[in-house]
């Protein structure tokens, strides 16, 4: 019987991260992300091990980073690396017998105890002899190492004189170029680095047809257009958003068209749901996913809209909803793309108790290749119009393999195209969509409102799934108006925006949030008079003038995000304690070696998640997680009000839900550091 080769190296290297739950797919990061590379490395006995991360950039540059131990006794090691180049990075971890570290530990113990002192000096000298003979080391370093070996052996020096040599600064040379023995490599791993917008961005959603819409004397509406919607772009840019997301802009079906609040009795002037894609064009024909609604303008008007957005440093995200109204060209041309019922009708969409009689879901079973080719054509069509971001509607109701193929095909042509999965579904499907290629994911954030819920959820998305899934923390959507927002008043809107904007690098707002729109359809979790089924022009200027708008605060949040690189990271989120179950405390810290100005960047957020009360409590900070000593005193500045306080490990806070429910604090300096 043959014996298999051992899988464990002489110095075992296990539990490598970043990783995904299924090794068929690779972890990912975004350009500029600081990624923690970790491994469990150990050996038998008591000798010390060293751990080195060896990582190769897409350009071929090889970098080496010495890994540091994490919690004592865990054998876990970590190196933080800023991934600053797009493409596939390859890396492995090397564990080795660290003879220098073992000797320094043993020498310190034995020499201080007066045991084997001369022997310990000689062992150290011989190790330095070996290192000095390695021609790969710089000549000046080799000279210093040889000189230190001589001083360790110097019979004219006392033990007391030679003892400090064990801690000589020249030993720092071995951090980057260790004297390694018994080296054992892990398998080679891959991490994909995508463009920055895949991982960092502030999204704003609005319906172009509502911007500039007017109610006429006869009760009909004149739709807003791409040209009138351009006027809204300046205000969105002024609030500091990066991405403007448009619901479907295609022709809307007439058959089974929905009226206000999803009713089955539309009036003659009701515009219908944009998600009922496919309907009449001006020439009398039917348009589908590659057409624009004639009320909005022409394809040239859309391109002008995109150019104006780009001039304001905004990107356009377009909805990709793979479904059809009964009037879509697909229904007549490809009836096998839909589910035929025994009575001869086509099955419409349902999400019990909601019914969407105006929408036919696509069935991928009978002609998957035809559907794939058509959707790829549609995506390429919009890419040619300047769109590089797609928000995908209900991807969890389509085959996983379809999305894997589609995203791979698109990213092979343009790696910068971003897909956001709007999948409010079971964790297995949500995570699988991210693993097979979706760059961003909606999440359960909208339904996590208490301190305990938020701590559990945000810990999960920032630590457990961050290697492959990037959460986009939308505070509301046309479909989602939670009870927290319905009954929490302005404080609820302020708190939700604060947490979404600071807890993750990606967050989003649906238009009307800044106006505190909170009235729901009775018995439902969505806004009454829903914009999905009617025009909804808003007077943003009047609301701001009357003090009924959160727009200024949203602008402050996005400015703070832009100014503080710690907030552009996901994996650095850490929670701290407070004595009040309604006061949540978390920090984001970024070491100065990863910031543009070389200074540490630390943000501490303290929020009262009870929108109906005033809370006074003490918060307790784990100062080590923000790079400070346990007894440090430091100054914090509230980045909203400008107020400053001196803080330490424990601090009193008062958060009034009706005036100032949250602090966003910048650690400005540590006087004792």
Q: Which residues are annotated as a binding site for alpha-maltose 1-phosphate?
A: 258, 323, 358, 394, 532-533
Residue 428 preceded by cis peptide, ω within 30: no
DSSP-assigned letter for residue 76: E
Spatial separation of the C-alpha atoms in residues 127 and 129, rounded to whole Å: 5
Residue 601 appears among annotated catalytic residues: no
Residue 353 preceded by cis peptide, ω within 30: yes
Label residue 281 exposed, middle or buried (CB < 10 Å: 0-12, 13-18, 19+): middle
**What is the token pair recorded at 556?**
């402050």
Q: ∠181-184-189 over CA atoms, to 5°? A: 145
Pairing state of beta strands 634-638 and 221-222?
unpaired
Annotated binding residues, written as ranges, equal 258, 323, 358, 394, 532-533
Neighbours of 414 (CB within 10 A): 11
Spatial separation of the C-alpha atoms in residues 586 and 503, rounded to whole Å: 8
Cβ atoms of residues 496 and 605 within 8 Å: no
**What is the token pair recorded at 18?**
């970043």
Pairing state of beta strands 315-320 and 360-361?
unpaired
Q: Which helix (H) or strand (E) holds 383?
A: helix 368-384
Distance of CA 297 to the CA centre of its chain: 35
**What is the token pair recorded at 535?**
């025009």
- Selected catalytic residue, list 422, 514, 517, 610: 422
Spatial separation of the C-alpha atoms in residues 18 and 464, rounded to whole Å: 10
DSSP-assigned letter for residue 336: G
Cβ atoms of residues 509 and 204 within 8 Å: yes
Spatial separation of the C-alpha atoms in residues 222 and 239, rounded to whole Å: 28
- Selected catalytic residue, list 315, 327, 393, 526: 393
Q: What are the φ and ψ backbone dihedral angles of 158, each rounded to 5 degrees?
A: -75, 165
HEC sequence for 500-552: HHHHCCEEEEECCHHHCCCCECCCCCCECCCCCCCCCCCCHHHHHHCCCCCHH
Cβ atoms of residues 655 and 606 within 8 Å: yes
Give the closest residue to 28 by CA, choosing from 440, 573, 506. 440
Residue 211 appears among annotated catalytic residues: no
Label residue 158 exposed, middle or buried (CB < 10 Å: 0-12, 13-18, 19+): exposed
**What is the token pair recorded at 356?**
């969407």
Give the closest residue to 191 by CA, choosing from 350, 56, 372. 56
**What is the token pair recorded at 399?**
């085959």
Instruction: Indicate which residues carry an active-site annotation.
Output: 393, 422
């Amino acid at each position: 019987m043959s014996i298999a080769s051992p899988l464990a190296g002489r110095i075992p290297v296990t539990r490598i991260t970043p990783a995904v739950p299924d090794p068929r797919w690779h972890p990912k990061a975004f350009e500029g992300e600081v990624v923690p590379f970790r491994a469990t490395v150990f050996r038998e006995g008591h000798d010390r091990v060293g751990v080195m991360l060896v990582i190769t950039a897409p350009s071929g540059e090889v970098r080496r980073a010495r890994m540091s131990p994490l919690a004592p006794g865990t054998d876990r090691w970590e190196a933080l690396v800023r991934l600053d180049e797009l493409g596939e990075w390859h890396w492995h971890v090397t564990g080795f017998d660290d003879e220098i570290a073992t000797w320094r530990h043993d020498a310190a113990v034995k020499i201080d105890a007066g045991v084997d002192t001369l022997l310990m000096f000689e062992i150290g000298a011989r190790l330095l002899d070996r290192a000095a003979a390695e021609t790969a080391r710089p000549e000046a370093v080799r000279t210093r190492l040889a000189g230190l070996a001589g001083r360790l052996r110097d019979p004219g020096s006392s033990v007391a004189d030679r003892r400090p040599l064990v801690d000589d600064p020249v030993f720092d040379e071995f951090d980057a170029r260790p004297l390694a023995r018994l080296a054992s490599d892990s398998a080679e791993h891959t991490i994909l680095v995508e463009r920055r917008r895949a991982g960092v961005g502030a999204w704003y959603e609005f319906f172009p047809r509502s911007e500039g819409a007017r109610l006429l004397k006869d009760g009909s509406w004149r739709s807003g257009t791409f040209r009138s919607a351009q006027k809204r772009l300046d205000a969105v840019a002024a609030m500091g958003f990066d991405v403007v997301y448009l619901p479907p802009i295609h022709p809307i079906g007439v058959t089974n068209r929905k009226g206000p609040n999803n009713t089955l009795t539309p009036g003659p002037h009701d515009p219908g749901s944009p998600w009922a894609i496919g309907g009449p064009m001006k020439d009398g024909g039917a348009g589908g996913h590659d057409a624009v609604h004639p009320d909005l303008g022409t394809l040239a008007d859309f391109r002008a809209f995109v150019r104006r957005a780009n001039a304001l440093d905004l990107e356009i995200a377009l909805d990709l909803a793979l479904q059809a109204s009964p009037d879509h060209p697909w229904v007549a041309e490809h009836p096998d793309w839909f589910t035929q019922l025994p009575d001869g009708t086509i099955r419409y969409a349902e999400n019990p108790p909601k019914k969407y009689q105006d929408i036919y879901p696509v069935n991928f079973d009978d002609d998957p290749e035809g559907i794939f080719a058509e959707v790829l054509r549609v995506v390429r069509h919009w890419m040619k119009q300047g769109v590089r971001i797609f928000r995908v509607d209900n991807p969890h109701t389509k085959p996983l393999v379809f999305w894997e193929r589609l995203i791979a095909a698109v990213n092979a042509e343009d790696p910068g195209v971003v897909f956001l999965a709007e999948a409010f579904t079971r964790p297995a499907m949500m995570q699988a969509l991210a693993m097979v290629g979706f760059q961003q994911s909606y999440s359960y954030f909208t339904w996590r409102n208490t301190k305990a819920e938020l701590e559990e959820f945000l810990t999960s998305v920032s630590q457990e799934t961050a290697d492959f899934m990037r959460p986009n923390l939308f505070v509301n959507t046309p479909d989602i108006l939670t009870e927290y927002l319905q009954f929490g008043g302005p404080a609820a809107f302020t708190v939700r925006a604060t947490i979404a904007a600071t807890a993750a690098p990606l967050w989003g707002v649906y238009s009307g949030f800044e106006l505190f729109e909170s009235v729901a359809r009775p018995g439902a979790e969505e806004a009454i008079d829903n914009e999905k089924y009617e025009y909804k022009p808003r007077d943003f200027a009047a609301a701001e003038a009357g003090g009924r708008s959160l727009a200024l605060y949203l602008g402050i949040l996005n400015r703070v995000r832009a100014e503080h690189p710690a907030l552009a990271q996901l994996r650095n989120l850490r929670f701290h304690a407070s004595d009040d179950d309604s006061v949540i405390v978390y920090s984001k810290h970024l070491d100065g070696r990863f910031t543009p100005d070389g200074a540490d960047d630390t943000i501490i957020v303290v929020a009262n998640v009870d929108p109906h009360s005033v809370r006074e409590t003490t918060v307790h900070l784990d100062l080590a997680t923000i790079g400070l000593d346990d007894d440090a005193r430091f100054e914090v500045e509230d980045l909203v009000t400008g107020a400053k306080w001196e803080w330490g490990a424990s601090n009193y806070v008062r958060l009034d839900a009706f005036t100032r429910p949250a602090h966003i604090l910048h650690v400005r300096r540590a006087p004792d550091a």
